[in-house]
Amino acid sequence: MTRFDLWSRYVAHTKRPIFIGPWREEIGSEVIYHLPFVAQWCHKYNITADRLVAISRGGASFWYGAGKAIELYDYWPPADIRLETLKSSQRHGTVKPQVISDLEYALYQTLSARLGIRRFHVLHPSEMYRQLARWNADDMSLAEVMSHLRFTQIPTPHIPLSVVLPEAYTCVRFYQRHTWPFTEEIKDYCTQIVAELAKHTPVVVIGSSLHHDDHLDLSFEGPNITNLMDAFPVRENLALQSAIIARSRAFVGTYGGTMQLAVRLGKPSVGFYLEFKGTSYGHKSLTEWLAMKQQLPIFIGTPQQADLVRSVVSVPLELPQPAGSSSGVMG
């Protein structure tokens, strides 16, 4: 029995509120690791959601289905989060949190005072990274990592009545990251994809022009395109983007966190990268495994690979129908 297991059993016995987070990193690690890690932890130790106080940013605390959802931007402006992440990177050599920082300790005390909580527990993201360290080092099997994760339905909020959406649409978000640099050729390629999509189906563009992290979004305009860039307040942006994706027919964009969110929401998805570097193959393989379990058609690859797939699937073939279907939610 590990120290973490002993601590978890103690937490389950005390019935005190539990601070989950704060989560201040990118979307992908939150939706394919942190959310299912918390879900599995609660399931294993019989911890009810009403005890959880989820702390995330951009409205993403809604995804946890917790008893209380705390908006991190109400306490730390985006610039402060970037600074805290930079300090962590310089101190530990990674942006992934390794310990609870002094600023986070102060946040817990502030929240406990405002919520009237005298005693509490903390499940910090650093614990998840400790439990999954071997997976991130490519030294853990899929079966073993899955023993730490439980994929359940991600709740999304209602879309404001002021937002008018097409009856059916494809959701698009293209943003810059190290695997998808914004060269002029890449920007032209993205523009051509969106324009071609819009000839066949309504397109809804999501994203933000605000530079909260290292991701810069492309904006698109044109016939049959609804542009919702910067349509939502920053403190609700991620939650409402997830609601837009959840209502869509499919997602197309950069391979990364938003595409992984779309897969978690059960949407057929296409994610592009130019060169697979600076990221783990484990993230990609887990994303593909999730899609397979839900029988979701997805594509993760380069423009050249997409052209090859397009040339093959354009050949008229009579294909057998799948034997069954899945609800898209795994217990």
pTM recorded for the entire structure: 0.91
The type of residue at 8 is S
Round to whole Å and give the CA distance between 73 and 24.
10
Is the model more confident about 237 or about 315?
237
DSSP one-letter string for 270-296: EEE-SS--SS-HHHHHHHHHHHHHTT-
Please count the residues of the chain: 331
Model confidence band, residue 320 (pLDDT cutoffs 50, 70, 90): low
Helix spans in 45-158 (H)? 78-92, 102-115, 125-131, 133-136, 142-146
The type of residue at 176 is Q
Chain centroid, CA 219 distance in Å? 21
Can the peptide bond before residue 316 be classed as cis, meaning omega within 30 degrees of 0? no
Query: Would you state the structure tokens that stand for residue 74, as one six-digit string?
Result: 């109400």
Q: Residue 318: count other Cβ atoms within 10 Å of its Cβ.
A: 4
Round to whole Å and give the CA distance between 43 and 63.
16
Query: What per-residue string of b and e applies to 207-235 under the rule 16 or more CB within 10 Å gives b?
Result: bbeeebbebebbebeeeebbbbbebbebe
Can the peptide bond before residue 97 be classed as cis, meaning omega within 30 degrees of 0? no
- pLDDT tens-digit readout, 262-310: 999 999 999 999 999 888 889 999 999 999 999 999 999 999 999 998 8
Round to whole Å and give the CA distance between 91 and 104.
15
Give which of 311, 287, 189, 299 is closest to 251, Cα–Cα. Answer: 299
Give which of 186, 197, 209 is closest to 275, Cα–Cα. Answer: 186
Q: In what order do the strands lie in the sheet with 68-71?
A: 68-71, 52-56, 18-20, 121-123
Q: Residue 303: count other Cβ atoms within 10 Å of its Cβ.
A: 15
3-state helix, strand, coil split of the chain in percent (to 5) is 45, 15, 40
**170 by DSSP, 3-state: which?**
strand
Mean per-residue pLDDT for 37-45?
98
Mean per-residue pLDDT for 61-69?
97
First to last CA, the chain: 25
Model confidence band, residue 149 (pLDDT cutoffs 50, 70, 90): very high
**299 by DSSP, 3-state: which?**
strand
- pLDDT tens-digit readout, 179-228: 999 999 999 999 999 999 999 999 999 998 775 555 689 999 999 999 99
Mean per-residue pLDDT for 114-138?
94
Which domains, and CATH codes, for the chain?
Answer: 3-146 (no CATH), 170-313 (3.40.50)
The answer to whether 235 touches 202, Cβ cutoff 8 Å, is no
